[in-house]
A = this chain, B = another copy of it.
Amino acid sequence: MDLNGRKALSFVHHDFEDLEYWYPVYRLREAGMIVETAGEKAGESYRGKYGVPATSDIAFPDAEPAEYELLLVPGGWAPDKLRRFPEVIEITKRMNADGKVIGQICHAGWVLISAGILNGKRVTSTPGIRDDMTNAGATWVNEAVVVDGNLVSSRRPPDLPAYLAALIETLSKR
Q: Is the CB of B30 within 8 A of A164?
A: yes
CB of A77 to closest CB in B, whole Å: 14
- How many copies of the shown chain assemble into the complex? 2
Interface 9-residue window, one of A18-26, A94-102, A132-140? A18-26
Distance, CA A48 to CA B22, complexed state (A): 15
A51 interface hit (Cβ, 8 Å)? yes
Interface residues on A, range: 10 to 19
Q: Is the CB of B161 within 8 A of A18?
A: no
Q: Main SS of chain A's interface residues?
A: helix
A160 interface hit (Cβ, 8 Å)? yes
CB contacts under 8 Å to B, within A135-174, are 157, 160-162, 164-165
In this complex, what residue of B is CB-closest to A164? B30
Contact partner, A23, options B26, B51, B162, Cβ 8 Å: B26
> Which B residues are in CB contact (< 8 Å) with A161?
26-27, 29-30
CB of A147 to closest CB in B, whole Å: 16
CB of A75 to closest CB in B, whole Å: 13
> Which B residues are in CB contact (< 8 Å) with A26?
19, 23, 157, 160-161
A85 interface hit (Cβ, 8 Å)? no
The verdict on A52 contacting B160 (CB below 8 Å), with A27-B27, A30-B165, A165-B30 known, is no
Q: A residues touching B (Cβ–Cβ < 8 Å)?
A: 18-19, 22-23, 26-27, 29-30, 48, 50-52, 157, 160-162, 164-165
13 contacts between A and B (CB under 8 A): A18-B18, A18-B50, A19-B22, A22-B157, A23-B27, A26-B157, A26-B161, A27-B30, A27-B161, A30-B164, A48-B50, A50-B50, A50-B51
